[in-house]
Amino acid sequence: MAEATDDRLRLLIERVERLEEEKKGIGDDIRDVYAEAKAVGYDTKIMRQVVKLRKMRPDDRAEQDAILETYRAALGLL
- pLDDT above 70 for 44: yes
Helices (H), the chain: 2-39, 44-55, 58-74
At residue 56, φ and ψ (nearest 5 deg) are -75, 155
pLDDT digits (tens, 9 = 90+) for 12-39: 999 999 999 999 999 999 999 999 999 9
Segment holding 77, helix H or strand E: none
| % the chain with pLDDT above 90 | 92
pLDDT at residue 2, as a whole number = 77
Rounded Cα distance between 14 and 74, Å, is 54
Residues contacting residue 69 through CB under 8 Å, at least 6 positions apart: 78
pTM (2 decimals)? 0.73
- pLDDT above 90 for 3: no
- pLDDT above 90 for 53: yes
pLDDT at residue 18, as a whole number = 98
